[in-house]
Amino acid sequence: MIKGVLFDLDDTLYNSSEFARRARKEALKAMMDAGLHTSEEEAEKVLNRIILQKGSNYSMHFNDLVKALKGYHDPKIIATGIITYHNVKFSLLRPFPDTTSSLINLKSKGLKLGILTDGVTLKQWEKLIRLSICPFFDEVITSEEFGLGKPYPEFFQHGLNKMDLKPEEVVYVGDREDRDIIPAKSLGMKTVRIFKGKYSDNKETIADYSINSLSELPIIVEKL
């Protein structure tokens, strides 16, 4: 019997990739207005290379970008980029249209809910607070806190321990095949792949269920 649901956060409960993309685009434009002489195309290409190399949680993307394009550290341009990025991201940040209603539905069934997410603890909490969805979750588990992240099964097992539930009692919901579905399934959890974010084009999945929208989730949990 299903007693709880564990969720990935970014691109599962809100549109992380899309907001980050739009915020980066506006930040680049503002940096060009502030004196970064380059084309939007060139700037995007270099920034994407930096994100690929350093990861999306790296905190000095714009420092590296300005260094790469101007040859030196220009704090005015970097600070302009950071301000614009945060202003745009915070003003756009909101859950998927059906996130909150689906969470209410699951809570009304008496289920325990948790978040299992890679990332810096305070940054992930900041998103939950800004999204106004943190009261739904009994546990929020981050890779920074545990010291090991996805796709390590130890991290998923730690999530189950915190929820105080057995694998077969839990549904795991995430957008990534390699980092979410495969490890969750390997421990014996029921898995639901959600087709959102930048990996949504590849529909191949070993998940027990796949969904296009969170509103389908309560029906699946009901069946289980």
Q: Which stretch binds its own copies (CB under 8 A): 37-45, 124-132, 177-185, 189-197?
A: 124-132
Among 12, 15, 16, 80, binds its own copies (CB under 8 A): 80
Among residues 9, 47, 78, 111, the one that binds its own copies under rule CB under 8 A: 78
Residue 115's closest CA among 147, 140, 149? 140
Residue 199: DSSP 8-state: G
CA distance 211 to 194: 5
* Nearest Cα residue to 173 out of 82, 89, 108, 106: 106
Contacts with its own copies by CB under 8 A: the residue count is: 18
When the beta carbons of 121 and 215 are compared against its own copies, the nearer one is: 121
The radius of gyration of the chain from alpha carbons, rounded to an integer in Å, stands at 19
Residue number, 145 or 178, with CB nearest to its own copies: 145
CA distance linking residue 190 with residue 170, whole number of Å: 6
| Residue 125 contacts its own copies per CB under 8 A | yes
Chosen residue from 65, 140, 192, 220 binding its own copies by CB under 8 A: 140
Q: Where are the alpha helices (DSSP H) in 71-213?
A: 75-92, 99-108, 121-130, 143-146, 153-163, 182-186
Cis amide leading into 167 (omega within 30): no
Among residues 17, 100, 121, 210, the one that binds its own copies under rule CB under 8 A: 121
Of the ranges 19-27, 107-115, 122-130, 163-171, which one interacts with its own copies (CB under 8 A)? 122-130
Give the footprint of its own copies on this chain (CB under 8 A): 75-76, 78-80, 82-83, 121-122, 125-126, 128-130, 134, 140, 142, 145
